[in-house]
Amino acid sequence: MSSPTGQSRTYPTYQSGSGWNAMLPPRAARSAAPPERRVKYLVVGAGYTGLAAARRIAELRPQDRVLVVDATVAGEGSAGRNSGFLINLPHNTRMSGHHSPLQVARKQIAMFQAGLDWLAQLSQQGGFDCGWDVAGKYHAAATPGGERNLRAALAQYRDWGVDYTELDRDALRAALGTGYYRFGYHSMNNVFVQPAALIRGLADTLPENVWLMEDNPVLSIAGAGPYRVGTRAGEYVADNVILANNAFARRLGFLRSRLITIYTYAGVTPVLDPARQAQLGERDQWGVIPANRLGTTLRRIRGGRFMVRSAYSYEAEQPMPRVAQMLRAAFERRYPDLGAYDFEYVWSGSTALTRNGASFVGQVRPGLYASVGCNGAGVIKGTIYGKLLGELVAGQRSAMLDDLAAFEKPNWLPPDPLRRLGVLGAIALQARKAGLER
């Protein structure tokens, strides 16, 4: 059994709560144990992937219990710590075999649109408010290198048949309230949500044969089927286990050479006064994706708050005072005249990266499945991958499952200390390349 401290810990813990969750009314955790210790299906992780897999299995196998176990409570985990962008375009279009990147992109676009449509349907049927807003997204560059990156992305958009509007410095200043950026574009391929409200709503509207057990981390998985799953509340036996805990799957002994844990950071201001809000552009909600992966993401949140997200760290959080200072500097560079740089909430969130940007979705061994390695784009991707994995576990087959099975798998990663040195070196290099995009 793994130690509860250090890098051997089998679940994430955080120095501070999710700001998104803190903005919502308190919610009581569902921590009661199920009536039986033996289940047909056990899902590790109640994020977008785990809940999608559990929901789909429960729909296809209504006679069976699906147990979902999560280390924290809905809204406080990684699913409630992202920036709330639901982008339905691909980030990685590589695939093994003989398919072209354009073919892969079209397959991914169809998948991600299906995931977005499913989320919209679930939120409407569930009757919960997650701030769903079809507002699109901006991409903006502050440097010549960033502009080159964005123009290359637009060449892909043209190949994919995606509509967009190019924006020069003046147009960006009007839209965003800052002259910091030199070039950008806007596309409608994004929906904004309040991520903690979305994951809470999905958790609270599961089918009746799904038993959600929050605040109960999985500490070990043993056996070869049925599996003995050790949790803080005792051991459960499952015929099928679905790993939906991203990089922490390797802390339980699976896919160790494929995943790394990365922490990213966000800060949200208090509600700004009307004069400051008036300086933030024409729309009451918008978001900016940076031109470099280690750049700074911005989001003007409907209701008057402002979010800044930036930076990576490997395997462990940075001290929150240092993070707040870094985020404040990114804010000040873009809005030197705003005069309101303190954040009401500062937090981190963990995600899983792979060497080649590919996810693992499928069977690890008989009766044990995983959908992990979201590479920082987990809301829609996690939703549709979890749904498809649930169908695979339940014995369904489809053309979309075949497409998913053909996608490239995560590359091998060397063990530590080589892994740590390589990742830290890559982060430092990308930070230098990012420059003023940070």
Q: Which long-range contacts (CB under 8 A, 24 or more apart) does 301-305 make?
A: 301/268, 302/131, 302/133, 302/192, 303/271, 304/271, 304/272, 304/277, 305/268, 305/269, 305/270, 305/271, 305/272, 305/344
For 329, residues 6+ apart whose C-beta sits below 8 A from its C-beta are: none
For 43, residues 6+ apart whose C-beta sits below 8 A from its C-beta are: 50, 53, 54, 66, 67, 68, 69, 241, 242, 244
> Tell me, what's the pLDDT at 99?
66
In this structure, what token pair is assigned to residue 368?
Answer: 């044990």
Q: Cβ distance 57 to 108 under 8 Å? A: no
Q: Residue 35's CB: how many other CB atoms inside 10 A?
A: 7
pLDDT by residue, tens only, the chain of 438 residues = 333 333 458 999 999 999 999 999 999 999 999 999 999 999 999 999 999 999 999 999 999 999 999 999 999 999 999 999 999 999 766 555 456 889 999 999 999 999 999 999 999 999 999 999 999 999 999 999 999 999 999 999 999 999 999 999 999 999 999 999 999 999 999 999 999 999 999 999 999 999 999 999 999 999 998 999 999 999 999 999 999 999 999 999 999 999 999 999 999 999 999 999 999 998 999 999 999 989 999 999 999 999 999 988 999 999 999 999 999 999 999 999 998 778 999 999 999 999 999 999 999 999 999 999 998 888 999 999 999 999 999 999 999 999 999 999 999 999 999 999 999 999 898 888 889 999
> Tell me, what's the pLDDT at 3?
35
Alpha-carbon distance of 404 to 369, in angstroms, equals: 14
- Tell me the pairing of strands 218-222 and 210-213: unpaired
> Tell me, what's the pLDDT at 2?
34
In this structure, what token pair is assigned to residue 11?
Answer: 């679940």
Length of the chain in terms of residues written? 438
Compute the radius of gyration of the chain from its Cα atoms.
Answer: 21
User: How would DSSP label each residue in 257-316?
Assistant: TT-EEEEEEEEEPPPPPHHHHTTS-SSSSEEEEESSTTS-EEEEETTTEEEEEEEEEESS
Rounded (5°) CA angle 54-59-62 = 100
In this structure, what token pair is assigned to residue 349?
Answer: 């969130």
Q: Cβ distance 42 to 242 under 8 Å? A: yes
Alpha-carbon distance of 312 to 243, in angstroms, equals: 24
Alpha-carbon distance of 69 to 72, in angstroms, equals: 9
What letter would DSSP give residue 225? S
> Tell me, what's the pLDDT at 92?
67
Q: Tell me the torsion sign for CA atoms 45, 22, 113, 381.
A: negative
In this structure, what token pair is assigned to residue 205?
Answer: 């509207």
- Tell me the pairing of strands 210-213 and 190-192: unpaired
Peptide bond into 417 cis (omega under 30): yes
- Tell me the pairing of strands 190-192 and 85-87: antiparallel
Alpha-carbon distance of 416 to 419, in angstroms, equals: 5
Q: Residue 244's CB: how many other CB atoms inside 10 A?
A: 28
Nearest residue to 178 via CA among 153, 142, 144: 142
Alpha-carbon distance of 334 to 399, in angstroms, equals: 46
> Tell me, what's the pLDDT at 297?
97
Alpha-carbon distance of 299 to 84, in angstroms, equals: 9
